[in-house]
Amino acid sequence: MNPCLEKLRDLFARHGAHYEVVTHPLAYTAQEAAEAAHVPGHAFCKSVVVYVDDRPAMLVLQAPHVVSFEALRRALDASRVRMATEAELAELFPDCDTGAQPPFPGEHHLPVYMDSGLLESKDIVFEAGLHTQAVMMPLADYRALVSPRVLEFAREPVHSQPERK
């Protein structure tokens, strides 16, 4: 049983949200999960927990993208932004595998910031507490449930150039 998914199901039922549970082979990164679930990487979102001036927050962005900490810091008018540690993730999301937390505020009522790039998607897919289960739902339903603040903080990753001999 997946207690995180059960809490999500309860939330979805209370609000009449449409969703589908997608079971996929074990995958530890959002991009791997997107491939395993046969979902385009730009429709699969990852949940990144950060600390903004020592307060936890949830970021939601497209799987292939990375967080621009400088853009996030500026958008939030913060002094400091850092990634949460694994121990902090375990404390904030005890019902979830480390790194498989869904993009919801959780029991600690984290503020949720969604990158504007996700606005291009009709549906989104996200991990549901385990590295083998995801949820697909209309972006409109997700936004109605969470009311994330939309910001611009994600960018395409910079890939290093191969060394020339």
pLDDT at 40: 65
pLDDT at 29: 73
Kindly state whether residue 162 falls inside one of the protein's structural domains: no
d(CA 121, CA 62): 10
Q: What is the CATH number of the domain that holds 142?
A: 3.90.960.10
Find the Cα–Cα–Cα–Cα dihedral 147, 140, 50, 36, rounded to 10°: 160
Listed residue (140, 136, 145, 144) closest to 20, CA to CA: 136
CB 19 within 8 A of CB 123: no
Kindly state whether residue 161 falls inside one of the protein's structural domains: no
d(CA 53, CA 49): 13
Kindly state whether residue 137 falls inside one of the protein's structural domains: yes
Kindly state whether residue 163 falls inside one of the protein's structural domains: no
pLDDT at 76: 97
Task: Tell me the mean pLDDT per 10 residues along the chain, length 165.
Answer: 93 96 80 71 86 97 94 97 96 93 95 96 93 94 97 83 50
d(CA 107, CA 110): 8
Q: What is the domain extent for residue 11?
A: 3-155
pLDDT at 159: 65
Query: Nearest 5°: CA angle at 32, between 31 and 36?
Result: 120
pLDDT at 161: 45
Q: Count the domains in the chain.
A: 1
